[in-house]
Structure 1
Amino acid sequence: MNIKHIFFDLDHTLWDFDKNSKLTFKQIIEEQGVKLNVDEFLNIYLPINLKYWKLYRDEKVSKSTLRYGRLKETFDALNYKISDDLISIISEDYIKYLPNYNHLFEGTVEVLEYLKQKYELHIITNGFEEVQNLKMQKAGIDTYFKEVITSESVGVKKPNPKVFEFALMKAETIAKEAIMIGDSYEADILGALNCGMLAIHFTNETTPKKGVINIQSLIQLKQYL
């Protein structure tokens, strides 16, 4: 492999989104006096949030619809009476508080230290631009990355090839010298492969996808890179 550039996804790949998101919601539920247990809330919210992110990725809903709709639908499903105003406050507070929690996946810093000696490292993320840079700064990993490409800055989202083409251009490289590492098979892996890049799937699936390198922990990257 003649790899010179490594592109990482951020959420669910380096930054432990589920843990940080749960802590954020716990804080908001307590602050706003919402009479729900954070676990019962998340049991309903998580699949709804996934559905909205897929719609957002496919350009079928706007950012504001995603942020409001995922909460509204969750509270409706829980039969919890709540005003639109409070949903808007929770939506805003969630984006504001989320970067304050900065748990990373085990091995993140060790692997970035190891890889930076040989490769240029970058981020490609579908996450909201206003929080992604803050997340990396507060988690202490922003200095590892030369280019941070957000889908908002490109105008389309992974797996759209334009995102990967833009990222390669920004990094001043070509597809065959680059590899993508991410948790979403559709957005990260297929998106990268369709552009001629290599890809490594970070997944805890019991039946990993065939024809692609799968890892269950970031430390395993040392076996391949």
Structure 2
Amino acid sequence: MAYKNLFFDLDDTLWAFTQNARDTFEELYDKYRYDRFFHSFQHYYTLYQQHNLELWAAYGRGQLTKDELNRQRFLYPLEAVGAGDAELAKAFTDDFFILIPTKSGLMPHAREVLEYLHPRYNLYILSNGFQELQCRKMRSAGIDRYFKKVVLSDDIGVLKPRAAIFHFALSATQSQLGESLMIGDSWENDVAGAAGVGMHQVFYDVSGNSPLPFKPTYRITDLKDLLGIL
């Protein structure tokens, strides 16, 4: 297949969201002396992560606004230990969104792969991330220059894996479906979403052993594997 247009997810596909986020949370845990409320950072972070997944799922279904998503996910761990201070949670939240886009960690081999692909393909970002964060994260990591356009769910209020965001991305970049490839680490959002509109997909299986409900067009465990496909 002669691809011309590569659509990359950003978080945990190129930009190392999991590690960057953890580092940010740990810094703010110390700054706000959350050890007053939790047995350890891991105690706090486990509570946050468990509820955060549920809230994002509700947000994806249109059951929460972005503001309510952020209010609830940062307040919940405090409420879970009987310390539900909304003002403290709001201060933590504000600092989080200032600090996290300054992090520059990338997934292994991301930069060298982009360097190779950049002169050969039209590169685009297709992300569910927040508009006020994603471009800043890319600039901090020094990868913004590789991409012709950043397409975000915030642009139309629709998240991957819904078909509308993929159709919007194709239209916004003037890309033909048959010449386009979606690359991402989320099975549901990136792979199943792209497959649902007939777009070829690359599943970046970071764990290397994810059970799959159907066979994606391609499956990789390292971004360098893209060089054997493209």
SS at match of 1:12: coil
Pick aligned residue for 1:52 from 48, 52, 55:
55
Cα shift at 1:86: 0.6
Instruction: Look up the match of 2:14.
Output: 14
Q: TM-score, normalised by structure 1?
A: 0.95
Amino acid paired to 1:211: K
Q: Distance in 2 between matches of 1:117 and 1:208?
A: 34
Residues 208 and 214 in structure 1, CA contact (< 8 A), matched pair in contact too: no
Q: Shift of the alpha carbon at 1:51?
A: 1.6
Q: Give the Cα–Cα distance (whole angstroms) in 1 for the partners of residues 209 and 48 of structure 2.
A: 24
**Is 1:223–2:228 an aligned residue pair?**
yes
- Distance (Å, rounded) in 1 between the aligned partners of 2:47 and 2:85: 19
Matched, 1:74 2:87: no
Structure 1 gap ranges (5+): none
Which amino acid is 1:190 matched to? A
Q: Which amino acid aligns with 2:62?
A: E
Separation in 2 of the partners of 1:221 and 1:74? 39
- 1:64 is displaced (CA, Å) by 1.1
Q: What is the Cα deviation at residue 80 of structure 1?
A: 4.7
Give the 3-state SS of the residue equivalent to 1:159 in structure 2: coil
Overall identity of the aligned pairs, in %: 34
Tell me the equivalent position of 2:29: 29
Amino acid at match of 1:30: D
Query: Partners of 2:196 and 2:103 in 1: how far apart?
Result: 34
Other structure's SS at 1:118 match: coil
In 1, the alpha carbon distance for the partners of 2:28 and 2:178 equals 45
Aligned pairs for 1:104-115 (under 5 A) are: 104-115=106-117
1:38-92 per-position Cα deviation (integer Å, ceiling 9, x unaligned): 2221122122212211111121111111111112222233x15141101111111
Separation (CA, whole Å) in 2 of partners of 1:205 and 1:44:
26
User: Aligned letter for 1:22?
Assistant: R
- 2:215 aligned with 1:211: yes
CA distance in 1: counterparts of 2:5 and 2:28, whole angstroms = 39
Match of 1:138 in 2: 140
Spell out, residue by residue over 1:168-214, the C-alpha distance to the aligned partner (whole angstroms, 9 max, x if none).
11211111110001111111111111112100111215234231122
* Preserved contact between residue 76 and residue 84 of structure 2 (Cα < 8 Å): no
What is the CA–CA distance in structure 2 between the aligned matches of 1:56 and 1:121, rounded to whole Å? 28
Partner of 1:152: 154
Task: Choose the corresponding residue for 2:42, options 39, 43, 49.
Answer: 39
Contact residue 22 and residue 38 of structure 1 kept, 8 A: no
User: How many residues of Structure 1 are paired with residues of Structure 2 in the alignment?
Assistant: 224
Q: 1:28 & 1:12 partners in 2: Cα distance?
A: 21
Q: Secondary structure of 1:50's match?
A: helix
The CA distance in 2 between the partners of 1:191 and 1:39, in whole Å, is 33
Flag structure 2 segments of 5+ consecutive residues without an equivalent: none
Q: Distance in 2 between matches of 1:82 and 1:76?
A: 4
- The letter for the 2-side match of 1:64 is D
Deviations 1:110-141 (A, max 9, x none): 11011112111000111110010000001000
Partners in 1 of 2:149 and 2:51 — Cα distance? 31
The 2-side partners of 1:164 and 1:130 are apart by 21
